Structure 1
């Protein structure tokens, strides 16, 4: 039986604008044995407000990783979960409790990123498109949560499952986000050469195929097979 490997869990904050929230989130991470905080274009996060809110979790702030884009930030991770309160988003959304067993299986041999959006707007659709799964915290009709509260609820549920829950299987090494995005770029180029376009434009084709492939996590070998097919298409077009 396998328990959640919390050392393989990473929290990503996109454009966090309130220093106090970042400090409070650092404290939450430490509460639940998660030590990796990743910030995308944050406000100043080593100011007095953030450090005071972090209290004994200042070390989490000091070693936070900083990136200029979400795509760059999630490149090393094999499974990326985006969070949203919006019910209108096209992907199926799971609660933290519902997704915990699946993430447990993934966490055995893979690094997982949980992505949270800006305080005011949340993640954009284009950000959510970069994620393999979507998570929504169940609430009443008023679904707006403070960012630090949202991170706390998600980590509480996953930590709780790590303490009491387990799964009987694990998923082998998956392809990283960077490898998958390179596969999509190659696939779009190859399909355009043979005129395979859904809905009249390649952007729609990309979104349809991404939703298709996101239904099953792709291994590194899966990506190699798909890119091998692309190489064969490229060769055929160039030689006929």
Structure 2
């Protein structure tokens, strides 16, 4: 079964943290990770959490988001208004994402500050960005409300959806694929700005099939092919550098 981790980035309200903890226990979630909380006392959090005080006691505190997401396969950001400025991430609806969740994969759901949400830099660290459709008149959801909706969908999935039949792609294999693609691009004659854009586009394309549209054995086979191409190009480049011949 998939495992879920809830990550709160610089929460501003102790009360909201308690409400999120309560929602987590309502829907069977346990692992809360808090990045640099902006309040000094958890007193109101424990009051709001009520019977979910154990979730708060077991919560882990981190200094940075990078530390908090370590060891998690898929990082899922949340935002009220998906931006098109960040080309390398994928924005999907909650229902679309939930329908693609895979067994034996760990997911980290990242929630931003109550006032400003996640920064673009933080969203860049995510593999997928979720948006919960809501009224255009007032689209911004309270932190605990947004979290509760997501937790509910995950709970329903656990009850109703069968596990996927094929093994998911580990995060490290995806990273190796991206590294190989970037190395191949760097060996082309493209201008530097086009190399950067092509690398971002490849990351976005790979994000569309990861982690839900590619089996582990398929990813390993593709990684082998990419590395073969990379090694062949590297030998050609070295030969050209040594002989001065043109390709």
Give the TM-score normalised by structure 2.
0.77
Q: Which residue of 1 aligns with 2:207?
A: 214
Runs (4 or more) in structure 1 with deviation over 6 Å come to none
Structural RMSD (CA): 2.9
Quote the Cα distance in structure 2 between the aligned partners of 1:222 and 1:41.
41
Which structure's relative contact order is higher, taking Cα pairs within 8 Å and 6+ residues apart? 1
Q: Where does the alignment leave 5 or more consecutive residues of structure 1 unmatched?
A: none
Q: Which residue of 2 aligns with 1:149?
A: 145
Count of aligned pairs: 229
The CA deviation at 1:144 is 0.9
Q: 1:56 to 1:95 in 2, by over 3 A?
A: same
The CA deviation at 1:143 is 0.7
Quote the Cα distance in structure 2 between the aligned partners of 1:46 and 1:171.
45
8 Å Cα contact 2:10/2:38 also seen in 1: yes
The CA deviation at 1:147 is 0.5
Give the TM-score normalised by structure 1.
0.79
What SS is found at the alignment partner of 1:210? helix
What SS is found at the alignment partner of 1:215? helix
Q: Give the one of 96, 106, 110 matched to 1:98.
A: 96
Q: Which has the larger radius of gyration?
A: 2
Q: 1:119 to 1:203 in 2, by over 3 A?
A: farther
Alignment of 1:26-105 (within 5 A): 26-44=21-39, 47-89=42-84, 93-103=91-101
The CA deviation at 1:201 is 5.2
Q: Where does the alignment leave 5 or more consecutive residues of structure 2 unmatched?
A: 241-247
Q: 1:187 to 1:99 in 2, by over 3 A?
A: closer
Alignment of 1:1-240 (within 5 A): 5=1, 8-44=3-39, 47-89=42-84, 93-103=91-101, 106=102, 108-141=103-136, 142-163=138-159, 165-167=160-162, 169-176=164-171, 180-181=174-175, 184=178, 187-189=181-183, 191-196=185-190, 200=193, 202-217=195-210, 219=216, 221=220, 224-225=223-224, 226=226, 229-230=229-230, 232-234=232-234, 236-238=236-238, 240=240
